[in-house]
Amino acid sequence: MTIKKNEISDQFISNLTSVYKKQRNEMKKKWDRVLPFNELISDRWEKAEYLHGLSGSSIYDNSYVFGKVSIGKNTWVGPYTILDGSGGKISIGDFCSISSGVQIYTHNTVNWAITGGKSKPEKKSVRIGDNCYVGPNSIISMGTSIGKCSVIGSLSFVNSKIPPYSIVFGSPAKIVGKVIVKGKKVEFEYFEK
């Protein structure tokens, strides 16, 4: 008896579909989430460990990671993020939340492009301290340093050094307030408008 190529392909698709539906149902039941197939079969904690992230950290399968990136313990890197450490090191501290769509770069090719390749790309490392929150779709530019316990608002473009306990947002990002931590309680104090 000869097995045809199409029969093998059809059986493979059928098995894959069965796995997908089983995983999707389990995720919906346990966490009330419906995720793309790759996220259902991947392990966010294993990916962080593979990238030498410290214990308790996770990074979504659909996150892009290039070059030198270090991730502290208990840090969450959300979906659709880009951590581009190809121009220098990206250091992300402990207990950070890097929200969906965040892009972190350690280089730019502006001068290279404008000069027709005569200038080299600029390269500088990025550091994000412990206990920081970076809001969705923010961009962290090369050379940026974000101090501990800082909040970066959604859709911000950060291209400077941010002191610890800062509230920052905008494009370019500006410091608009400070974070006050009192044990388990957090207060946000905004400067006058």
CB 90 within 8 A of CB 83: yes
Residue 67 has pLDDT above 90, yes or no: yes
Show Cβ contacts of residue 76 under 8 Å, excluding neighbours closer than 6 positions: 57, 58, 96, 97, 98
Q: Say whether 21 sits in a helix, a strand or coil.
A: helix
pLDDT of residue 7: 75
Q: Say whether 162 sits in a helix, a strand or coil.
A: strand
pLDDT of residue 4: 66
Residue 61 has pLDDT above 60, yes or no: yes
State pTM to two decimals: 0.89
SS3 content of the chain, % helix, strand, coil (to 5): 25, 35, 40
152 phi-psi bin (left φ>0, alpha ψ -120 to 50, beta other): beta
Q: What is the pLDDT of residues 35-44, one digit of tens each?
A: 989 899 999 9
pLDDT of residue 193: 63
Mean pLDDT of 154-159: 98
What is the residue-averaged pLDDT of the chain? 94
**Beta-strand pair 139-140/103-105:** parallel
